[in-house]
Structure 1
Amino acid sequence: MHRIGKQFRFEAAHSLPDLPEGHQCSRVHGHSYAVEVHLVSDGELHRPGFVVDFAELAPFGAHVRDHFDHRDLNTVLDAPPTSEHLAAYFYHWCCDHLRLPEPVRIEKVRVSETASTFAEYGPVLP
């Protein structure tokens, strides 16, 4: 089995509702986000020896740049803009919009708000 990944970055602001009064994350604040898309293939590599050409992920990079970079995430997502919700949103966006050759699939998406925190979303595997 082969695994590859590519990281994308964006800057954005958000605030998180429903937190106790005075919680620092209830105030508007910003992050330098890193989003990693992880792909997996249990089949043959594509010429010249790729799981997939990283260029196939360009539509995702454009989507992140056009819809998330330098935005208020509270106005972008329909859910509170936590790392968990962002990871699920990006995972489903990739599954719905990236045209990957068989048997390549999205394994997971990881979203980091800081250098030491992250959330991941992907299918539950047996």
Structure 2
Amino acid sequence: MSTAPHTVKRRFMFSAAHRLPQVDEDHKCHYVHGHNYTVDVEISTVSLDERNFVLDFKDLEFFEEFLRNEFDHKLLVWEKDEKLVQVAFQNTDIFKVKVIPVTPTCEELAELFALYVTSVISTMLSKDFKVRVTVWESDKSCASYETKLT
């Protein structure tokens, strides 16, 4: 039996708008704009299950539903962005708002998603595994976050 990890990867997509209030006003990301995000979820383990899977790809459908229901075509608002919180909630007829506890950077979204995926699949997998989530905001720019459960 190999000690090298096996990895499965599934790709997901969603569209959302956001702004980064923590950057200077001369930075284009300071203002509301949108992305067609791609999210890669990778699960790695040394031990395959009785089917010789890391896990069944369909076992990741929960994440697709999560993205669709919670993030797709939403305005992602950092809970501490007082200006955008006020504007967004005064205009719920034109905004679908998702308030999040982190700034909506690729780095922070990757961490948020990795922790969520880890919490859900930890109930499915009874072995050591690693989760790596990569969030792409364009075909050139991405950030990743990795968790391990042993």
TM-score (norm 1): 0.89
**5+ long unaligned stretches in structure 1:** none
Runs of at least 4 residues of structure 1 off by over 3 A?
A: none
Mapping for residues 13-24 of structure 1, pairs under 5 Å: 13-24=17-28
Mapping for residues 36-51 of structure 1, pairs under 5 Å: 36-47=40-51, 49-51=52-54
Q: Which moved more, 1:79-88 or 1:37-46?
A: 37-46
Is the CA contact (8 Å cut-off) linking 1:94 and 1:106 kept in structure 2?
no
What is the aligned partner in structure 1 of residue 56 from structure 2? 53
CA shift for structure 1 position 45 = 4.1
In the alignment, structure 1 residue 85 sits paired with structure 2 residue 113: no
Q: Which moved more, 1:73-82 or 1:9-18?
A: 73-82
Q: Which moved more, 1:105-114 or 1:25-34?
A: 105-114
CA shift for structure 1 position 104 = 5.6
Separation in structure 2 between the aligned mates of residue 56 and residue 44 of structure 1, nearest angstrom: 15
Separation in structure 2 between the aligned mates of residue 101 and residue 80 of structure 1, nearest angstrom: 30
Separation in structure 2 between the aligned mates of residue 56 and residue 123 of structure 1, nearest angstrom: 18
- What RMSD in Å do the two structures reach over aligned CA positions? 1.5
Which one has a bigger Cα radius of gyration? 2
TM-score (norm 2): 0.76
| Structure with larger RCO (C-alpha < 8 A, sep 6+) | 1
Percent identity among equivalent residues? 34
**5+ long unaligned stretches in structure 2:** 78-97
In the alignment, structure 1 residue 121 sits paired with structure 2 residue 125: no
What is the aligned partner in structure 1 of residue 66 from structure 2? 63
Aligned residues: 123
Separation in structure 2 between the aligned mates of residue 66 and residue 3 of structure 1, nearest angstrom: 27
CA shift for structure 1 position 102 = 2.5
Deviations 1:64-85, CA, capped at 9 Å, x for gaps: 1000000011143112100011
Separation in structure 1 between the aligned mates of residue 30 and residue 64 of structure 2, nearest angstrom: 28
Is the CA contact (8 Å cut-off) linking 1:46 and 1:52 kept in structure 2?
no
Is the CA contact (8 Å cut-off) linking 1:67 and 1:76 kept in structure 2?
no
Aligned residue for 1:123, secondary structure, equals: strand
Q: Of the candidates 25, 32, 43, which is equivalent to residue 28 of structure 1?
A: 32
